[in-house]
Amino acid sequence: MTAQELTQNFVIKVDGLTKRYGELVAVDQISFQVKQGELFGFLGPNGAGKTTTVRILTGVIKADEGTALIAGYPAGSLKAKQVAGVVPEMANAYPDLSGWNNLVLMAELYGIPGSEARRRGEKLLEEIGLFSRKDDPVRAYSKGMRQRLILCMALISDPQILFLDEPTTGLDVQSARLIKEMLQRLNASGKSIFLTTHDMDEANQLCDRVAIINRGKIVAIDAPEKLRMAMRGMHSVEVSFTNTVSPEVLAQLPGVNTVRRSGDKYHLYTDVPGDLVVSLVNYTSLAGLKIVSLNILAPSLEDAFVALTEKEAKDA
Amino acid sequence: MPDMALLWQQARRSLAIARKDVRIYYSKGPVIIFGVFFPVFLFLSFTIGRHMTLDFMIPGLLGMILFFTATSISPIVVPWEAQARTLERLMSCPVRMETIILGDILASFVFGVGISLVTIVLGLFLGITVSSPVVFAVAVILAAFCFASLGNVFSIPPTNLPSTVNMIASVVKFPVVFISGIFIPLDQLPVWGQAIAYISPLTYFTDIARSSIQGQSHLPLVIDFLALLGFTALFLAVAMKLHQKTMPRRI
């Protein structure tokens, strides 16, 4: 495979990207690639550098160091912007314009011919459930409707890659579900998607791979399932009893790393969940207890996220 | 050699931005108040009760109207968009910073020319005559573009509050009106007053308007036009250069 073919296979190539705001290093030498057709998640706590990274990739701000290529074009160039659709964080459509006029404006700014823009606009609005409200001013839209419209605005140019910065944050369940379903359909049709999110379930459901960023640095990149499974000691046995049991007693059982109580359940973290179940059953019969429920839980993506970001914070 | 296809593409996108501004900002309260009511009432308060001929009043009124209307939209668009959280979306579109700025200036320019036409028609209805309509029309167009560009310069400080930008603009606009030969002819100003008047672009438009309507100008028309062109180039260059730095700081 030639270098050019390799570049073409990656819709995003980031190398050593750095952005400083005075003393603060918002993004610190990050490097990653996103493959053609991939749905790539970018996770991190508040202030980790997610939005700064998206803004550099979409050409809104410039990096201080490093390079970023979008479909082979330098981030921020007109060609890179032309192939990208963007849903910025906390963005708004023009509230004084109708939903339809917002779409037409975006089509004009991307140079989409009028007839093609009308065809795409009608199809997108039908698909996202806004067609009947297309002539209403956006100020009359709910937050969920606005966010759905902004997604349509990002898609009117039929972009090669879609950037979404926390697209479902604060939305009602129905709008969030509509957006997620649309992202899945778009990805299935071959569109590359770069998604930042706080929602671990969302990342787990949607993303082929995720990068976890903390304090401006990438601490892990992998498939969500692989990240979960790589968390040694994060498997747990969730158990509840008919009577109250002291967590200190459960912590004495062989193989238990830590015990966490939540409501009437105990989470016993372990490297050997099978052995721990046997120990638990033996203990309950000796202590005259009855088990109400017992589940073996693999670490969630949230567990992996917390573990990785906390480890990074300790290392720092 | 400039890429003509790219220039044409960006020019069309500038027009799309200008159309958006026309739809959104022409009916905004601050635009109507600062752009239309303010200059009219200011002019009336300085002219009523004073013995001025119509030939003297109309060029001054036209100068004020054109100056205030053409500088009423271009300062507020960028802070308004930043506040409404539409700016980041616009900046991520395939348009140059110059394209965005030019679009905003165009919207302000059209507003300035449109409202000024009302004043011109009113003047013609009241009996004034324009001796050289073509020269006068070119002056109106050039001055409107110059003032709209100046308006855009007012929005360079990276504040997201339109009221703050309007305050900055007012600090400049009011002194400019008083030093530009609108209420007192340039010939009647002392030498130091004339020296100050020459740093105002409005002076040169008022001079051309007086030449076209009263038949007499303080400076040769060539100087007036060159000065307006020079100010336009300066304001455009400053706006385009400095917005590159401050625009990303608004989001």
Dmax over Cα atoms in chain A, in whole Å?
Answer: 78
User: Which pLDDT does position A3 carry in this prediction?
Assistant: 44
**What is the C-alpha separation between B194 and B204, in angstroms, rounded?**
12
Q: What is the pLDDT of residues A107-165, one digit of tens each?
A: 999 999 999 999 999 999 999 999 999 999 999 999 999 999 999 999 999 999 999 99
Please tell me whether residue A228 adopts helix, strand or coil conformation.
helix
Residues of chain A under the 70 pLDDT cut: 1-8, 231-233, 311-316
Q: Which residue has the tokens 């016993």?
A: A268
**What is the C-alpha separation between B35 and A265, in angstroms, rounded?**
68
**What is the C-alpha separation between A217 and A205, in angstroms, rounded?**
24
Q: What is the pLDDT of residues B53-75, one digit of tens each?
A: 888 888 888 898 899 999 988 99
> Taking CB atoms and an 8 Å cutoff, what residues of chain A touch B244?
none
Query: Which residue does chain A place closest to B91, by CA atoms?
Result: A60
The pTM assigned to this predicted structure is 0.85
State whether A55 and B88 contact (CB < 8 Å).
Answer: yes
Q: Is the pLDDT of residue B130 over 80?
A: yes
In this predicted complex, what is the ipTM?
0.89
* DSSP β-bridge partners for residue A270: A235, A256
State whether A94 and B95 contact (CB < 8 Å).
Answer: no
State whether B17 and A109 contact (CB < 8 Å).
Answer: yes
Residue A152: name the closest of A218, A85, A95 by CA. Answer: A85
**CA B100 vs CA A109, B11, B108: distances in Å:** 10, 10, 13
Higher pLDDT, A255 or B138: B138
Determine contact, residues A81/B92, Cβ cutoff 8 Å.
Answer: yes
Residues 135-194 of A with CB under 8 A from B: 150, 153, 163
